[in-house]
Amino acid sequence: MQDDPPDVVAMHRAHWPETFDARLLPFVVALHRARDGHMKRSAALSARYGLSPAELDVLVTLRRSPPPWVLTPSILQRSVLITSGGLAKILQQLEAKGLVERLTDSADRRVKPVQLTAAALPIVAAAIGEVIASTGGWVRATLSDAEIDQVTAILGKLTAV
């Protein structure tokens, strides 16, 4: 079928055997495909709220901080793993939508902390609720609780380096 993804592992083995690692390549391909599956679900759900996945990520990051849900741009940038230029653009978009506001730090006027607005709270709660339900349904339909714990522990090892 045309819509089936190519078997990149078999293609790599056949056409580039000198770089083929029978254990590592299937792992990397599976990891990428799992991430892509999650990102597609998240993008579709974010779009229903008029947000990009990156915008939702910023809103969720702000919401998980303690009230009044304020973080500096540098902390936000480290939390969402995007460039400062990319974050500036996202913050401008969210501010234009009335979902965040930029504050002035009285101690350092160069720092412009970002705060969730009251209008953002129900949107971020509903959107992340749907993302969690969708992702949870997808993962739980595929993996047992023990497998989820095992994959989490293994991926934790990879992200600790």
Average pLDDT value for residue range 39-59: 93
Q: What whole-number percentage of the chain has pLDDT above 70?
A: 98
| pLDDT tops 70 at residue 9 | yes
CATH label, 51-159, candidates 1.10.20.60, 2.40.10.340, 3.40.605.10, 1.10.10.10: 1.10.10.10
What confidence score (pLDDT) does residue 161 get? 61
d(CA 150, CA 161): 18
Listed in sequence order, the residues at least 6 apart from 54 whose beta carbon sits closer than 8 Å to its beta carbon are 80, 82, 86, 90
pLDDT tens per residue across span 67-125: 999 999 999 998 887 888 899 999 999 999 999 999 987 787 788 899 999 999 999 99
More confident of the two residues 108 and 50: 50
pLDDT score for 56? 94
Q: pLDDT value at position 2?
A: 59
Of the candidates 127, 122, 115, the one whose C-alpha atom is nearest the C-alpha of residue 67 is 115
Check residue 111 and give its pLDDT. 82
- pTM for this predicted structure: 0.81
More reliable by pLDDT, 31 or 107:
31
Residue 49 pLDDT more than 90?
Answer: yes
